[in-house]
Amino acid sequence: MKVLFVSANIEQITLPSLPVGLGCVAAATERAGHEVELVDLMDEADTLPTITAAMERFRPDIIGVSVRNIDDQSMENTRFLLDEAKKVVADCRAVSDARIVLGGAGFSLLPEAVLSYLGAEMGIQGEGEKAFPILLDHLERGTDLSGIPGLYLPDRGLQGERAFTKDLDEFPLPEGHLLGAAEVGNLDMMIPIQTRRGCPMDCSYCSTATIEGRGLRRRSPEVVADWIARRHGAGFRRFMFVDNTFNIPAAYAQELCRTIAKEKLDISWGCIVYPGVGDRDLVKAMAEAGCAEVSLGFESGSDRMLASMNKRFDTKAVREFSCMFKDQGIGQIGFQLLGGPGETRESVEESFAFVDSLPLDVVKLSIGVRIYPNTALAKTAIEQGVIAPDDDLLQPRFYIQKGLEEWLRETARRWMEARPHWFM
């Protein structure tokens, strides 16, 4: 079959992100024997002309659209981003009769609500490399779609239990032409690479388990290092590990870094780390492999709040961790998520003082916590009457501890005034 993959994300918030997930599905679909093309709409002011040109040139049988963002996750001046994807789906419809299949992190979070909002024929929750080719096979033969893992149909819900492939080496990584905007040669672009999926940590507010599952699955370090070396050969120097937690498990992260370092590449990269997992040797191995910056999502400087978010570390571990990165010359962005259940003025002041005492280069403050389905936070919010039990959470809802709202904004502003490296 001829499959056109369309990345509907046009957002440049924080940094433009290449559609690596869509590229992975496209690579697996190509390997399964189909003809594929990928259109990345990131740089398009008006998406219709690009979509029209692609349809006329390629004439696809099926269109796969990735839906990454639903909203910007910010309680202050919230931006709802799904209308951008809605326009892309409408544009595809306007110029093609091909069936539209949705996927991506945003779709996986709220499959039924997104499917109905965007008006597509179907969607696949979770990883698409295995399920999408199975779906194509069924569509080609005109057979019944029930049983396909992770497939959602409008008004008929989930058709088959989701599958989580254990060994990610079974799936190809996307090469040049399936890497979205990188193919046009923007060599400054940060190239995303995912080495593992799934998170067992269960933070009270986090949506990762819904998107990727709880069980950790990985690619072998050699496969990852080879892929990075090929991109390096093509002229790219900046990379970002998009794994939720680069350092879990620590032994794997260390082996990965050693394997990358052996390639002796002139690269720099960033990643997201979970405080308290791994030691000095790991941080040293990261520096030697090119790590230039880590996102340290410790979220609070109050031990009581950390425990209430189900974090498996305390402030002492955060400090030790932060100092290890400082010692290795690795830059750090610290993240604070303020206003969750149980937050008080004291815990906020405690957090700010703690953050202030760490060797962080940048600090991102978020006030209010986006409520995602299947989380402990959603349960609390329902129990406290913050959201209705039947709220599908498509329109962003936030939890903020009652009575703190104005005070928290004011206090954050006051602390930020004298700290230009802090932002909201």
Where along the sequence are the contacts to ligand B12 (CB under 6 A)? Answer: 9, 11-17, 20-22, 24-25, 64-66, 68-74, 101, 103-106, 108-109, 124, 127-129, 132, 190, 192, 194, 207-208, 211-212, 240, 242, 244
- The single residue listed with the structure tokens 């002229």 is 235
First and final CA of the chain: distance in angstroms?
46
CB 367 within 8 A of CB 339: yes
Q: Which is nearer to ligand B12, 111 or 278 (CB)?
A: 111
Distance CA 298, CA 422 (A): 15
* Minimum distance, C-beta of residue 191 to ligand B12, in the bound complex (Å): 8
Q: Which is nearer to ligand B12, 17 or 380 (CB)?
A: 17
Q: Which is nearer to ligand B12, 102 or 283 (CB)?
A: 102
**Within 13 Å, how many C-alpha atoms sit on residue 39's CB side?**
24
Task: Go through the chain and tell me how many residues it has.
Answer: 424
* Minimum distance, C-beta of residue 12 to ligand B12, in the bound complex (Å): 6
* Minimum distance, C-beta of residue 316 to ligand B12, in the bound complex (Å): 26
* Minimum distance, C-beta of residue 309 to ligand B12, in the bound complex (Å): 14
Backbone φ and ψ of 110, nearest 5°: -140, 65
* Minimum distance, C-beta of residue 381 to ligand B12, in the bound complex (Å): 16
∠ CA 96-99-102, nearest 5°, is 115
Per DSSP, the three-state class of 235 is coil
Per DSSP, the three-state class of 267 is coil
**Within 13 Å, how many C-alpha atoms sit on residue 368's CB side?**
22
Q: Which is nearer to ligand B12, 16 or 200 (CB)?
A: 16
Q: Which is nearer to ligand B12, 211 or 257 (CB)?
A: 211
* Minimum distance, C-beta of residue 143 to ligand B12, in the bound complex (Å): 18
* Minimum distance, C-beta of residue 128 to ligand B12, in the bound complex (Å): 3
Q: Which is nearer to ligand B12, 77 or 143 (CB)?
A: 77
Q: Which is nearer to ligand B12, 151 or 287 (CB)?
A: 151
Distance CA 420, CA 417 (A): 7
Q: Bridge partners of 197? A: 217
Helix axis angle, 280-288 to 315-327, nearest 10°: 40
Distance CA 49, CA 55 (A): 10
